[in-house]
Amino acid sequence: MREIGTLVCWATVKNNKRKAEAFKNDCIEKYSFLENVCNDTFDTNILLSDYLDRWLEGKKIDLKTSTYEGYVYRVKRIKDYFEPKHQRLIDITPRDLDQFYKYCLQYGKINQKTHEKEPLSVRSVRSYKSILYAAFSQACIDGLIQVNPSVGVSVHGKKNRDYSEEMLFLTEEEVAELLHFLAEYNPGLVPIAFMGAYYGLRRSEILGLKWDAIDFENRMIHIRHTRVRVKTIDASDVTKTRESRRSLNLFDTAISCLRKVQAEQELNRNFFKNEYQNTDGYVFTWEDGRCYDPDYITTVFCKATKAFGRREITLHKLRHTCCSILINKGWDLKRLQYWMGHEDAQTTLNIYSHFNKQRLNSSENDLSEISMMASDLFA
């Protein structure tokens, strides 16, 4: 490992021994876990919980920080069940996994108020299953087991369509009413809600928006930065998916909104002077330039909508609202998919389906008028 690192360093950095040595040490530290993988003879008696730690360490370099922290959380929950049993990796059977999934579906969550065990959602249990499937697949490659025991084991519960996220579609009038309420309740939320309702941006995209991504002259806004939180906050120049990286036009009201934010930020910069902290040029920040914690924005927005009398409205559901408004304006599927940054057209079609179903049930039935010529038959 150290010889390979040295060769890479000298091949990459010429005539600079100090930089080469620093680069070599960075490589050794970053990929040190591979020494164990490459040099160790695999212990066939390794416990499942220990192997999961080893598998997770190997995944670290391939995953974004937020994704990795999500894996860490789920692996910990899996280990909480299997670790006290001291079960070896090689001894895990499909029946063991089936019992684990059933346990999670009944007792997998701790109520934060009562501290009692409650059922975990089917979606969450299936995320555990995905992790175990991947870990056991790697164990097969490592030669520790012959067959992946998770194959064929199902997480029984509701179908995907039964537990999919409930969608909420506000009318244009309701959006305007909400924004005017926020202007009185918490003015700082107004531009954030505006970007959610009219651009359909995700929370990570709103809080990751930077001034250098806004082109006032050419009236364009480029979605290319994100800020997310799982355990720590991860600021990234990578969007959720390749399709999420998109350029959208700046319409007049959006320009007015962003210019107002810019003017207020400049006043704050002059007031705080050297203590102003927004060195990365984020659009939405505290008065002293510090970036918002994504979870804080979610919490304060939920409090605001509760005060508004519509606690079912969340920041993400404003994204659904944006989609529904554009559908109402006659946007075609591909244009809508691009604007929303959906990786899969099926996601856009699902919103189409939900909105059209709701619109059908709430609109007047045109068939009454159409069938008038046959009404005499039933007089």
Which is more confidently placed, 78 or 240?
Answer: 78
Q: What is the pTM of this model?
A: 0.60
The pLDDT of residue 234 is above 60:
no
What value does the CA radius of gyration of the chain take, rounded to a whole number of Å? 26
Other Cβ atoms less than 10 A from the Cβ of 133: the count is 16
Other Cβ atoms less than 10 A from the Cβ of 217: the count is 6
Average pLDDT over residues 352-372: 62
The pLDDT of residue 40 is above 70:
no
Q: What is the mean pLDDT of the chain?
A: 81
Which is more confidently placed, 97 or 244?
Answer: 97
At residue 37, the pLDDT reads: 46
Q: Which residues of 166-185 are buried (b: 16+ CB within 10 A; e: fewer)?
A: ebbbbeeeebeebbebbeeb
Lowest average pLDDT, out of 41-45, 137-141, 245-249, goes to 41-45
Contact 208, 199 (CB under 8 A): no
* Percent share of the chain, pLDDT over 90: 44
Q: Crossing angle, helix 17-30 and helix 2-12, to 10 degrees? A: 140
Nearest C-alpha neighbor of 44 from the set 88, 82, 94, 96 = 88
Other Cβ atoms less than 10 A from the Cβ of 322: the count is 24
Give 282-317 pLDDT, tens digit per residue. Answer: 999 999 999 898 889 999 999 999 999 999 999 999
At residue 67, the pLDDT reads: 77
Phi and psi angles of residue 345, each rounded to the nearest 5 degrees, phi first: -60, -20
Which amino acid is located at 82 in the chain? F
Which is more confidently placed, 1 or 266?
Answer: 266
* Number of residues written out for the chain: 379
All domains in the chain, ordered by first residue: 48-142 (1.10.150), 165-356 (1.10.443.10)
Lowest average pLDDT, out of 14-23, 69-78, 260-269, 347-356, goes to 14-23
Which amino acid is located at 124 in the chain? S
